[in-house]
């Protein structure tokens, strides 16, 4: 799945295209960048040629001290058939040797007014978010008291209706029906709505409602970190539901495990209130306070006391 090409970073960072225009559709496959200092000195044994190369003041002032033959040879080695781009920072002058080598191999040479470290950190952040693993899940994502709650369950169980009730109670809708999820920093899941259905809720009998128009900008969020999964299922009298909340179910999305609660749906149960309490309880647990465990140990103490009588 191709996610980023060189032309995407040219647009995003308004980079000046100096040469090698034919290569602007090259894929960028890693968010790692390279500052080829050792390579400038002639050491290409471990050259990470598939990365974007950034040449700053240090590299270019060293380059100036090389002999004419070395200059040509180094730049030829720098430009390979998989190098997505070579970026010159600080609007520095681009060596003629680099322009010629880049035209021969179609490696785009770009220029930015930014300082090298600033450019590198911005580029890394941009590429990491674009290259992060992604998936999509059927469900509703709501921000409840600052906790990203992903509500899942079969069609018709009342996910969107519950989200509407939560929005009415002052919480914020992120996505209805389809939640796009990307994994960042190893184990952080960020959810958002597909562009087409952003801020919309589909309610049976009412049709599609625009939450932002009805409830204002404070009722929506464009994206939110997912912390908790609440699965709604129709009440099954044969099933034993966890009443104390001691057993922690987990759900795996991409490579991350999330806490999952299963809430049985019956007529007359106010799911929005239950989800609010679940979110608050989750926050308390994150802060190291576990009501269920405290309750259970108190119960055990009471039972002990009765035995002693």
Flag whether pLDDT at 132 surpasses 90: no
The pLDDT of residue 274 is 92
Whether 306 is covered by a domain: the verdict is no
Contacts of 261 (CB under 8 A, 6+ apart): 228, 229, 230, 231, 245, 249, 278
Q: Let me know whether 74 and 164 are in one domain.
A: no
Q: CA of 243: how far to CAs of 258, 263, 264, 277, 283, in Å? A: 20, 10, 11, 14, 19
Q: Let me know whether 140 and 93 are in one domain.
A: no
Q: Let me know whether 209 and 91 are in one domain.
A: no
Q: Let me know whether 144 and 282 are in one domain.
A: yes
* Portion of the chain with pLDDT greater than 70, in percent: 96
Is 138 one of the catalytic residues? Answer: yes
Whether 106 is covered by a domain: the verdict is yes
| Cα distance between residue 192 and residue 121, in whole Å | 24
Contacts of 300 (CB under 8 A, 6+ apart): none
Domain final residue, candidates 111, 131, 151: 131
Whether 195 is covered by a domain: the verdict is yes
Whether 307 is covered by a domain: the verdict is no
Q: How far is CA 285 from the centre of its chain?
A: 24
Q: Which stretch of 140-149, 216-225, 232-241, 273-282 has the lowest confidence by average pLDDT?
A: 232-241
Mean pLDDT of the chain: 92
Q: Let me know whether 160 and 258 are in one domain.
A: yes
| Residue in 115, 118, 138, 269 annotated catalytic | 138
Whether 308 is covered by a domain: the verdict is no
Give per-residue pLDDT as tens, 34-78: 999 999 999 999 999 999 999 999 999 999 999 999 999 999 999
Flag whether pLDDT at 201 surpasses 80: yes
Q: How confident is the model at residue 231 (pLDDT cuts 50, 70, 90)?
A: very high
Is 159 one of the catalytic residues? Answer: yes
Domain final residue, candidates 131, 153, 185: 131
Is 202 labelled a binding residue?
yes
Is 157 labelled a binding residue?
yes
| Residue in 7, 73, 122, 177 annotated catalytic | 177
- Please state whether the predicted TM-score (pTM) of the whole model is above 0.85: no
Domain extent, residue 42, equals 6-131
Q: How confident is the model at residue 243 (pLDDT cuts 50, 70, 90)?
A: low
The pLDDT of residue 246 is 62
Q: Let me know whether 40 and 188 are in one domain.
A: no
Q: Which stretch of 49-63, 126-140, 217-231 has the lowest confidence by average pLDDT?
A: 126-140
Q: Let me know whether 219 and 262 are in one domain.
A: yes
Q: Let me know whether 146 and 257 are in one domain.
A: yes
Count the domains in the chain. Answer: 2
Flag whether pLDDT at 1 surpasses 60: no
Q: Let me know whether 140 and 124 are in one domain.
A: no
Domain final residue, candidates 113, 131, 149: 131
Closest CA to 217 of 235, 236, 245, 198: 198
Is 14 labelled a binding residue?
no
The pLDDT of residue 308 is 66
Is 238 labelled a binding residue?
no
Is 218 labelled a binding residue?
no
| Residue in 35, 49, 159, 171 annotated catalytic | 159
| Residue in 65, 238, 243, 306 annotated catalytic | 243
Q: Let me know whether 124 and 158 are in one domain.
A: no
């Amino acid at each position: 799945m191709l996610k980023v090409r060189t032309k995407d970073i040219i647009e995003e960072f308004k980079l000046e295209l100096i040469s090698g225009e034919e290569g602007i559709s090259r894929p960028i496959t890693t968010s790692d960048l390279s500052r080829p200092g050792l390579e400038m000195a002639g050491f290409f044994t471990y050259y990470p040629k598939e990365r974007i190369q950034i040449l700053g003041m240090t590299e270019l002032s060293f380059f100036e001290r090389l002999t004419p033959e070395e200059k040509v040879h180094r730049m030829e080695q720098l430009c390979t058939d998989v190098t997505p781009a070579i970026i010159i920072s600080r609007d520095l002058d681009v060596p003629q040797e680099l322009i010629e080598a880049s035209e021969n191999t179609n490696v785009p040479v770009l220029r930015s007014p930014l300082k090298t470290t600033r450019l590198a950190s911005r580029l890394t952040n941009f590429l990491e978010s674009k290259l992060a693993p992604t998936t999509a899940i059927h469900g509703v994502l709501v921000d409840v008291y600052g906790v990203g709650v992903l509500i899942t369950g079969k069609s018709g169980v009342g996910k969107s209706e519950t989200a509407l009730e939560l929005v009415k109670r002052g919480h914020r809708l992120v996505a209805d029906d389809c939640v796009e999820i990307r994994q960042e920093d190893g184990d952080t899941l960020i959810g958002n709505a597909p562009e087409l259905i952003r801020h919309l809720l589909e309610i049976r009998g009412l049709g599609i409602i625009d939450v932002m128009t009805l409830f204002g900008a404070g009722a929506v969020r464009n994206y939110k970190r997912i912390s908790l999964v609440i699965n709604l299922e129709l009440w099954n009298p044969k099933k034993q539901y966890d009443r104390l909340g001691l057993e922690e179910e987990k759900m795996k999305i991409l490579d991350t495990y999330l806490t999952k609660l299963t809430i049985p749906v019956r007529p007359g149960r106010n799911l929005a209130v239950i989800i609010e309490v679940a979110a608050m309880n989750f926050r308390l647990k994150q802060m190291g306070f576990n009501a269920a465990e405290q309750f259970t140990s108190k119960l055990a103490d009471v039972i002990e006391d009765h035995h002693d009588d």
